[in-house]
Amino acid sequence: MNKQFIILIAGPTAVGKTSMAIDVARTFHAEIVSADSRQCYRELNIGVARPSEEELGAVKHHFIATHSVMEEVTAVGFENYALSVSENLFKNNNIVVLAGGTGLYIRAFLEGLDPVPSVPTELRKALTLKYNENGRDWLREGLIKKDPSYAARGDLYNPQRMLRALEVWECFGKSILSFYENEVKSRPFKVIRVGLDMPREDLYAKINARVEQMIASGLIEEVTGLEKFKHMSPLQTVGYRELYPYLRGEYTKERAVSLIQQNTRHYAKRQLTWFRNQQRLQWFDPGNNQAVINFINQELKKEG
């Protein structure tokens, strides 16, 4: 087999991507490139459900704990990183596993992104000032009203990305997503696309249980230790931003946990919307590892 393959394992948060990706990678003697926009931060662990030391030891992972929250990490940056890593990995193996739930990162690597034009500095400063005065809800409501397509599929828990989407709309009068929907860039590899999903009530139950486990594992202590970074974009995302009001005494621990669970469920729903609209996935139950491996083998044989 001389062709090079990326095996994509995609799906919503908590569905079981890590376990499946490890099983697939071990089967095909491959390494894993993570397509998760938060697990790349060294300072974040429990709240981003970073793979355990045992999981990281089972198969080599890339783009895990590679950056600081002080660094700006973008989809284009991930595209360049993943292309470089995969090029090196292909020297020893014709298969690389790509696993994650950040749809824009996956698309950037597999298909490329057109650069979004810059906007005037004055506009960016004005919108940032309004955000600082009115908070994330102001951003979210503005996007729902002006750019409903982004609101339906984008990340409504990351102020940096939300500001970028809003400033593009204000400047060009069209969605930032429109810049990502042009011609697909040529890649030196074939892609086998696997999606993981389960009945919604089961997924939501897993999300709720995982948040409870995060709390039991020390998430509150992790967030407390990251107090000095709380203004940074990675700390303004689900699992972190809900706990700072609790630590200030604004609401109870139970309320904080409930909000993390609710916001994570909403995020999972948006992930699924993105994948069903943006990626041509073959869907599987996350517990059916053998069916996934059989499918991959069939696709590899087709390509010869």
Q: pLDDT tens digits, residue range 213-266?
A: 999 999 999 999 999 998 888 998 999 999 999 999 999 999 999 999 999 999
DSSP E strands in 35-186: the ranges are 61-62, 95-100
Global pTM? 0.86
DSSP conformation class of 95: E
Give per-residue pLDDT as tens, 173-225: 989 888 776 678 899 999 999 999 999 999 999 999 999 999 999 999 999 99
**pLDDT category of residue 39 using cuts at 50, 70 and 90:** very high
Whether residue 155 contacts residue 263, with contact meaning beta carbons closer than 8 Å, is answered with no
Quick one: angle between helices 103-111 and 75-89, nearest 10? 50
Nearest residue to 172 via CA among 156, 194, 150, 191: 150
Q: Is 239:257 a contact under the CB 8 Å cutoff?
A: no
Q: Which residues of 58-91 are buried (b: 16+ CB within 10 A; e: fewer)?
A: bbebbbbbbbebeeebbbbebbebbbebbeebbe
Strands (DSSP E) found in 45-147: 61-62, 95-100
pLDDT at 182: 64
Contact between residue 211 and residue 261 where contact means Cβ atoms under 8 Å apart: yes
CA distance 159 to 207: 23
List all residues 6 or more positions away from 201 whose beta carbon is below 8 Å from its beta carbon. none
Amino acid at the residue 87: E
13 Ramachandran zone, left/alpha/beta (phi>0; psi -120 to 50): beta
Whether residue 269 is predicted with pLDDT greater than 70 in this model: the reply is yes
DSSP state of 67: B
User: How many angstroms separate the CA atoms of 180 and 177, rounded?
Assistant: 5
